[in-house]
């Protein structure tokens, strides 16, 4: 047997074989049971499908667990019941008369390849906001829980009952007990979790040690769209199970003497008003944002302001080049010991440029008067909602923010086009990358 990517075979008592390949495993189907077809987007599965409809190949990404008990090998994988729904399925096989060490070696190789560098059996604290979005968080959690159980994750569940509760939970959390905190909610609960960690005396260690993840249950679910490429609960759950901890920037904001952190975006104008002004429409799900944006666009309201900025990249061609260069570098998790020698006791670092109350720094900063501001939108993640990549050039840990602005007198049809796939490429849209 070879554990370096070559095919590994395990003979079965009925004459068939389990074959572990580089990217998939060939699992013979149970006799007489119809196979659930995978979604068409799995091109690798379509190619592996044999003539006659016999489909045995399961991508390693879908393998949740495997174990050997006596003379029996059990393999559990996530099976598609629809293009957006997964359920755990277990197949059990009896190997031929092989040595137990040979069987154990095959099972260990399967687990090793299935998880790669991802941590196995993560320990998770789940925070459920039953009032998030349309109010279906409990239903979604109960659907994905079997996937976490199949992956042998340790789960502890808490339910939040009021705004700000997750801040206190994260602030007082015993961080050595958990590998991730899962927000079963919209984007508000992850925001509270990050800010709870940020308020700790050991904020740097907490933020570096415990990953924040999301089962999307809200209206926008931007965090899930960016982390897992989907706003569907099952696919997000698989992303959490197989996910590798990755460093991500947080932006600081201040209001008076209060300081907070933001993982997603800060806004003034149409986007902010569309969100705040449709709180009573949460039952509509993501559609409430479209209603809010439409009504604000038609009003053509201006938000006069002064903007203090330090621009790193202004030309859109340069922004595009910088994005492709950064995307070619694999993302890694920052080791905690690179932040500070005494990270156990250090809170957030001091603000590099001060606050709005301080004098404007002279090293590249400038003040822009914007009397007809229609929308100011500054973000750290590409997607702000499913299929809406407002900041397509953003990078998770480059130390920069992406800023998109446009005027209140922009023609209505052009504003609608901003929410298309190539919105920020339009000449009337101002896009900057800020330090």
List, in sequence order, every residue forming a beta bridge with 261; answer none if it has no partner.
Answer: 252
Query: Cα-flanking dihedrals φ and ψ of residue 36, to 5°?
Result: -75, 120
Query: Cα-flanking dihedrals φ and ψ of residue 314, to 5°?
Result: -120, -40
Q: What is the DSSP string of 73-130?
A: EEEEEEEEEETTEEEEEEEEE-B-S--HHHHHHHHHHHHHHHHTTSPSS-EEEEEE-T
Q: What is the DSSP string of 132-151?
A: STTT-HHHHHHHHHHHHHHT
In the three-class reduction of DSSP (H, G, I as helix; E, B as strand; rest coil), residue 241 is classed as: helix
Tell me the pTM: 0.86
Q: What is the pLDDT of residue 411?
A: 78
* Closest to 60 in 3D by CA, of 115, 16, 5: 115
Q: Which residues are catalytic?
A: 187
How buried is 43 (Cβ within 10 angstroms: 0-12 exposed, 13-18 middle, 19+ buried)? exposed
Cα–Cα distance measured from residue 396 to residue 42, given in angstroms and rounded to the nearest whole number: 27
Q: What is the pLDDT of residue 47?
A: 42
156-162, long-range: CB within 8 Å, 24+ apart, which pairs?
Answer: 156/124, 156/125, 156/126, 157/126, 157/128, 158/125, 158/126, 158/127, 158/128, 159/127, 159/128, 159/129, 159/130, 160/127, 160/128, 160/129, 160/185, 160/189
Question: Mind listing the domains of the chain with CATH numbers?
Answer: 8-115 (2.30.29), 120-245 (3.40.50.10330), 251-435 (2.60.200.40)
> Over its length of 435 residues, how does the chain's per-residue pLDDT go in tens digits?
454 556 899 999 988 999 999 999 999 887 655 455 555 444 444 344 333 344 479 999 999 999 998 889 999 999 999 999 999 999 999 999 767 888 999 999 999 999 999 999 999 999 999 999 888 999 999 999 999 999 999 999 999 999 999 999 999 999 999 999 999 999 999 999 999 999 999 999 999 999 999 999 998 899 999 999 999 999 999 999 999 999 999 999 998 889 999 999 998 877 776 666 666 676 666 666 666 666 766 677 888 999 999 998 888 888 888 888 888 887 666 555 444 445 555 889 999 898 888 898 888 899 999 998 888 989 999 998 888 888 989 988 888 999 988 888 877 777 666 655 444 544 444 555 555
Cα–Cα distance measured from residue 174 to residue 169, given in angstroms and rounded to the nearest whole number: 10
Distance in angstroms between the alpha carbons of the first and the last residue of the chain: 52
Q: What is the pLDDT of residue 44?
A: 43
Say which residues have a Cβ less than 8 Å from residue 32's Cβ, sequence separation at least 6.
none
* Closest to 76 in 3D by CA, of 66, 68, 87: 66
Cα–Cα distance measured from residue 260 to residue 191, given in angstroms and rounded to the nearest whole number: 10
List, in sequence order, every residue forming a beta bridge with 128; answer none if it has no partner.
Answer: 159, 184
């Amino acid at each position: 047997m070879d554990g370096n990517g070559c095919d590994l075979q395990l003979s079965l008592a009925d004459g068939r074989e389990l074959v572990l390949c580089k990217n998939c495993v060939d699992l013979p189907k149970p006799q007489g049971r119809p196979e659930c077809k995978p979604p068409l987007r799995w091109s690798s599965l379509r190619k592996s499908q044999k003539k006659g409809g016999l489909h045995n190949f399961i991508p390693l990404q879908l393998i949740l667990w495997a174990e050997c008990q006596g003379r029996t090998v059990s393999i559990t994988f996530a099976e598609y019941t629809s293009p957006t729904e997964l359920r755990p399925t277990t197949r059990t096989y009896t190997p031929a008369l092989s040595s137990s060490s040979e069987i154990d070696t095959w099972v260990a190789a399967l687990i090793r390849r299935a998880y790669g560098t991802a941590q196995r059996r993560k320990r998770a604290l789940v925070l459920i906001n039953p009032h998030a979005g349309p109010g279906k968080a409990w239903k979604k959690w109960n659907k994905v829980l079997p996937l976490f159980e199949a992956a042998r994750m340790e789960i502890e569940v808490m339910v939040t009952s009021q705004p700000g509760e997750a801040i206190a939970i994260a602030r007082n959390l015993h961080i050595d007990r958990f590998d991730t905190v899962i927000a079963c909610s919209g984007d508000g609960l992850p925001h509270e979790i990050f800010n709870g960690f940020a308020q700790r005396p050991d904020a740097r260690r907490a933020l570096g040690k415990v990953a924040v993840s999301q089962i999307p249950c809200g209206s926008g679910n931007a965090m899930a769209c960016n982390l897992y490429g989907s706003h569907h609960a099952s696919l997000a759950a698989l992303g959490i199970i197989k996910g590798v901890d990755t460093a991500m920037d947080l932006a600081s904001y201040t209001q008076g003497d209060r300081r907070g952190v933001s993982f997603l975006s800060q806004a003034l104008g149409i986007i902010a008003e569309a969100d705040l002004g449709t709180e009573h429409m949460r039952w509509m799900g993501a559609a409430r944002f479209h209603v809010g944006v439409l009504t604000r666009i038609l009003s053509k309201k201006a938000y006069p302001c002064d903007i203090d900025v330090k621009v790193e990249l202004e030309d859109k061609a340069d922004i595009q080049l910088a994005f492709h260069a950064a995307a070619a570098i694999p993302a890694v998790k920052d080791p905690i010991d690179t932040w500070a020698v005494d990270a156990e006791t250090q809170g957030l670092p001091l603000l590099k440029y001060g606050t709005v109350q301080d004098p404007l720094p002279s090293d590249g900063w400038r003040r822009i008067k914007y009397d007809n501001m229609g929308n100011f939108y500054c973000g750290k993640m590409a997607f702000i909602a499913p299929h809406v990549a407002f900041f397509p050039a953003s990078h998770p840990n480059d130390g920069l923010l992406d800023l998109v602005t446009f005027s209140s007198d922009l023609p209505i049809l052009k504003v609608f086009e901003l929410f298309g796939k190539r919105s920020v490429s339009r000449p009337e849209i101002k896009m900057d990358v800020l330090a």
